[in-house]
Chain A
Amino acid sequence: MSQILVYVPDNSRHAGEILTLARSLGEVAAVAFNEEGAAAAAEYGATTLYRVNEPQVDSYFAAPKAEAITSIAQGQDWGGILLPGSDEGKAIVGRLAVALNRGFLTDISTLDSDGVARQDIFAGSRIVTSKVTDGFTIATVKAGAVNAEPAPSTPSEEAVDVSLSDDAKKVSIVETVDEPAGDRPGLTEADVIISGGRGVGSADDFALIEKVADSFGAAVGASRAATDSGFYPHKFQVGQTGTTVSPQLYVAAGISGAIQHRAGMQTSRVIVAVNKDSDAPIFSMADFGVVGNLFDVLPQLLEEVEKRK
Chain B
Amino acid sequence: MDIVVLVKQVPDSGLERNLNADKRVDRDGSNNVMGELDEYAVEAALQLKEKHDGSVTVLTIGPDQATETIRKVLAMGVDKAVHVSDEAIAGSDALGTSSILAAALKRQDWDLVIAGAESTDSGMGVMPHMLSAHTGAAALTGARSLEVDGQTVTVEHQRANGYSKLEAQLPAIVSVWDTINTPRYPSLKGIMAAKRKPIESLSLEDLGVEAGTVGEAGATNEVLSVEARPERSAGTIVTDEGEGGRALAEFLVNEKFI
Residue B6 CB within 8 A of the other chain: no
Tell me whether chain B's interface is mostly helix, strand or loop, or mixed.
mixed
Residues of chain A lying within 8 A (CB to CB) of residue B127: 94
Residue B106 CB within 8 A of the other chain: no
Residues of chain B lying within 8 A (CB to CB) of residue A240: 13, 36, 120, 123
Nearest CB of chain A from residue B174's CB, rounded to whole Å: 10
Contact B248 A274 (CB under 8 A): yes
Residue of A nearest to B230 (CB): A127
Q: How many residues of A are counted as interface, with CB atoms below 8 angstroms from the partner's CB atoms?
A: 94
Residue B200 CB within 8 A of the other chain: no
With A94-B126, A94-B129, A304-B249 as given contacts, are A130 and B140 in contact (CB-CB < 8 Å)?
no
Contact A103 B93 (CB under 8 A): yes
Residue B235 CB within 8 A of the other chain: yes
Residue of A nearest to B221 (CB): A103
Contact A62 B129 (CB under 8 A): yes
Determine the distance from Cα of A274 to Cα of B248 in the docked complex, in whole angstroms.
Answer: 9
For chain B, residues 222 to 247, give those with C-beta under 8 angstroms from any C-beta of chain A: 222-229, 231-232, 234-240, 242-247
Contact A128 B225 (CB under 8 A): yes
Residues of chain B lying within 8 A (CB to CB) of residue A27: none
Q: Which of A124, A192, A258, A271 contacts B229, CB < 8 Å?
A: A124
Q: Which of B166, B220, B255, B257 contacts A102, CB < 8 Å?
A: B220
Residue B196 CB within 8 A of the other chain: no
For chain A, residues 46 to 94, give those with C-beta under 8 angstroms from any C-beta of chain B: 61-63, 66, 87, 90-94
Residues of chain B lying within 8 A (CB to CB) of residue A98: 95, 98, 130, 133-134
Residue A105 CB within 8 A of the other chain: yes
Residue B142 CB within 8 A of the other chain: yes
Q: Which of A122, A132, A266, A292 contacts B220, CB < 8 Å?
A: A132
Residues of chain A lying within 8 A (CB to CB) of residue B192: none
Contact A179 B163 (CB under 8 A): yes
Residues of chain A lying within 8 A (CB to CB) of residue B257: 192, 216, 248-249, 270
With A103-B95, A133-B220, A171-B166 as given contacts, are A128 and B237 in contact (CB-CB < 8 Å)?
no
Instruction: In the complex, identify which listed stretch (B49-57, B60-68, B152-160) lies at the interface while the others stay far away.
Output: B152-160
Contact A90 B125 (CB under 8 A): yes
With A103-B95, A177-B163, A288-B251 as given contacts, are A131 and B129 in contact (CB-CB < 8 Å)?
no
Instruction: In the complex, identify which listed stretch (A154-162, A180-188, A196-204) lies at the interface while the others stay far away.
Output: A180-188
Contact B17 A297 (CB under 8 A): no
Residue B164 CB within 8 A of the other chain: yes
Contact B166 A291 (CB under 8 A): no
Determine the distance from Cα of A241 to Cα of B144 in the docked complex, in whole angstroms.
Answer: 12
Nearest CB of chain B from residue A274's CB, rounded to whole Å: 7
Residues of chain A lying within 8 A (CB to CB) of residue B163: 176-177, 179
Residues of chain A lying within 8 A (CB to CB) of residue B161: 178-181, 186, 235
Residue A151 CB within 8 A of the other chain: no
Determine the distance from Cα of A286 to Cα of B134 in the docked complex, in whole angstroms.
Answer: 46
Instruction: In the complex, identify which listed stretch (A2-10, A17-25, A36-44, A277-285) lies at the interface while the others stay far away.
Output: A277-285
Residue A164 CB within 8 A of the other chain: no
With A90-B126, A240-B13 as given contacts, are A97 and B95 in contact (CB-CB < 8 Å)?
yes
Determine the distance from Cα of A181 to Cα of B141 in the docked complex, in whole angstroms.
Answer: 23
Contact B222 A91 (CB under 8 A): no
Residue A305 CB within 8 A of the other chain: yes
Residues of chain A lying within 8 A (CB to CB) of residue B191: none
Determine the distance from Cα of A128 to Cα of B223 in the docked complex, in whole angstroms.
Answer: 7
Contact B130 A304 (CB under 8 A): no
Contact A177 B165 (CB under 8 A): yes
Contact A177 B220 (CB under 8 A): no
With A97-B94, A133-B220, A266-B232 as given contacts, are A126 and B226 in contact (CB-CB < 8 Å)?
yes
Determine the distance from Cα of A145 to Cα of B245 in the docked complex, in whole angstroms.
Answer: 31
With A99-B133, A178-B162, A290-B248 as given contacts, are A259 and B126 in contact (CB-CB < 8 Å)?
no
Contact A131 B221 (CB under 8 A): yes
Residues of B within 8 A of A (CB): 13-14, 16-19, 23, 36-37, 93-95, 98, 117, 120-130, 132-134, 136-142, 144, 154, 157-169, 172, 177-179, 219-229, 231-232, 234-240, 242-253, 255, 257-258
The 8 residue pairs across chains A and B that have the minimum distance between CB atoms = A103-B220, A300-B245, A292-B240, A304-B249, A94-B126, A94-B129, A98-B133, A287-B235
CB<8 Å pairs between A and B, sample of 27:
A61-B164, A62-B129, A87-B159, A90-B124, A91-B129, A91-B141, A94-B98, A94-B130, A99-B133, A103-B95, A107-B124, A126-B226, A132-B220, A132-B221, A133-B222, A171-B168, A179-B161, A180-B162, A235-B161, A240-B120, A241-B177, A249-B257, A284-B231, A284-B232, A286-B235, A291-B239, A296-B240
